[in-house]
């Protein structure tokens, strides 16, 4: 979702070419069959074929495979996205070869060093020549932590908004009955949250007993955990994950969203939809300070209070943060070309 706008912006240039490299395999189950068509972007030019659940194995294998790729492809700049183990591995490999490194999205922090992703963020930002940030807070973090006088930080805006604006009129209503009545959408992915089944049940009992229908398009472990916790719940519609354009319609038209995903919270702010995040922090602070997002951590009482506000249509006012204008990819490409 964050790469598609970059590709469109690069393809408009006469003096720039690119290759899209994916660290996994071509049949990776996370690459939904309709994803590339929905986003109107080409499939990766290269698949490194790394398949592992162990983070250190992923790092080592991606470094080895990406190094071989760079042997055969002359490269001026490597752009890495987000904060995965594979992202960090590609960043380290590029810098060891003296290739310019750009990080999108830079400066995001949980300030919890026990989180593997936090370590990835610190390493990638420290190595990067170009740090592209989405908001004022992340921009100040990236600037403060810069390790080299040659590094440059740029507040380019939220590239997820490029994708949302591009696809806003292309969203597709899912074939789900009852979407004409108010409903909530649930997304879950964080492993620590899914591991605490009792705590998760206390939080979700508030939602299921709220009287609002809860639509939960989930995959993998999240689907399994929720199906175990709620074998019979009239207000819960549990289903496999939806294609991008259908999921986008579902969240854009919801009465509210309950999630542990920063990206989903950003989408909710863009759509003006109330959002409850099942965490004590967010790397996307502007969704709370300016947007529709609130944080409830693992507090069922707080969850119940916010649900009551949502049902009474008493949600806080919100607005779009700076540079959520859909031109982030254009700014990035122009900075790199200049």
pLDDT digits (tens, 9 = 90+) for 68-107: 999 999 999 999 999 999 999 999 999 999 999 999 999 9
Asked whether residue 162 is domain-assigned, the answer is: no
Asked whether residue 211 is domain-assigned, the answer is: yes
The CA distance from 268 to 252, in Å, is 7
Asked whether residue 316 is domain-assigned, the answer is: no
CATH number at residue 211: 3.40.50.2000
**146 backbone dihedrals φ, ψ, rounded to 5°:** -55, 130
Write the DSSP symbol of residue 107. Answer: S
Tens of pLDDT along 153-181? Answer: 999 999 999 999 999 999 999 999 999 99
Domains: count for the chain: 2
Q: How confident is the model at residue 214 (pLDDT cuts 50, 70, 90)?
A: very high
With beta carbons less than 8 A apart as the criterion, state whether 3 and 162 touch. Answer: no
Is the model's pLDDT at 147 over the cut of 80?
no
Do 129 and 15 belong together in one domain? Answer: yes
Do 196 and 298 belong together in one domain? Answer: yes
Do 153 and 257 belong together in one domain? Answer: no
Do 188 and 153 belong together in one domain? Answer: no
Range of the domain at 290: 176-311
- Burial class, 82, CB count within 10 angstroms (exposed 0-12 / middle 13-18 / buried 19+): middle
Do 205 and 301 belong together in one domain? Answer: yes
Residue 32 has what pLDDT?
Answer: 82
Instruction: Find the angle CA(139)-CA(152)-CA(127) to the nearest 5 degrees.
Output: 95
Which ranges constitute the DSSP H helices of the chain? 4-11, 35-39, 55-72, 85-96, 116-127, 136-145, 159-167, 191-195, 197-208, 220-229, 244-252, 262-271, 286-289, 300-311, 328-337
Do 229 and 134 belong together in one domain? Answer: no
The CA distance from 28 to 50, in Å, is 10
How many percent of the chain have pLDDT more than 70? Answer: 99
Asked whether residue 163 is domain-assigned, the answer is: no
Do 143 and 185 belong together in one domain? Answer: no
Asked whether residue 170 is domain-assigned, the answer is: no
Residue 279 has what pLDDT?
Answer: 93
The CA distance from 283 to 222, in Å, is 22
Asked whether residue 278 is domain-assigned, the answer is: yes
Do 147 and 188 belong together in one domain? Answer: no
């Amino acid at each position: 979702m964050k790469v598609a706008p970059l590709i469109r912006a690069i393809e408009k240039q006469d003096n720039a070419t690119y290759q899209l490299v994916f660290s996994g395999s071509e049949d990776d189950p996370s690459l939904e069959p309709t994803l590339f068509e929905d986003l109107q972007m080409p499939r990766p030019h290269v698949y490194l074929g790394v398949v592992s659940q162990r983070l250190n194995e992923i790092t080592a294998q991606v470094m080895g495979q990406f190094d071989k790729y760079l042997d055969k492809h002359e490269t001026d700049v490597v752009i890495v996205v987000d904060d995965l183990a594979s992202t960090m591995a590609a960043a380290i490999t590029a810098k060891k070869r003296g290739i310019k490194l750009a990080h999108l999205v830079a400066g995001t922090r949980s300030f919890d060093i026990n989180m593997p992703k936090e370590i990835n963020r610190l390493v990638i930002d420290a190595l990067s020549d170009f740090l592209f940030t989405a908001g004022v807070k992340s921009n100040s973090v990236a600037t403060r932590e810069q390790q080299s006088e040659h590094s440059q930080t740029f507040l380019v805006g939220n590239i997820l908004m490029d994708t949302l604006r591009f696809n806003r009129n292309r969203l597709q209503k899912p074939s789900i009955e009852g979407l004409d009545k108010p409903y909530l959408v649930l997304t879950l992915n964080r492993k620590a949250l899914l591991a605490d089944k009792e705590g998760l049940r206390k939080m979700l009992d508030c939602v299921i007993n709220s009287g609002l229908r809860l639509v939960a398009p989930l995959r993998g472990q999240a689907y399994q955990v929720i199906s175990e916790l709620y074998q019979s719940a009239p207000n819960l519609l549990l289903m496999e994950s939806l294609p991008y354009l259908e999921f986008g319609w579902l969240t854009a038209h919801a009465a509210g969203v309950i999630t542990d995903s920063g990206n989903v919270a950003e989408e909710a702010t863009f759509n003006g939809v109330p959002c409850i995040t099942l965490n004590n922090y967010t790397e996307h602070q502007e969704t709370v300070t300016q947007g529709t997002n609130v944080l409830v951590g693992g507090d069922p009482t707080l969850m119940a209070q916010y649900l009551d506000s949502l049902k009474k249509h008493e949600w806080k006012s919100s607005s779009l943060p700076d540079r959520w204008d859909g031109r982030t990819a254009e700014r990035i490409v122009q900075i790199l070309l200049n």
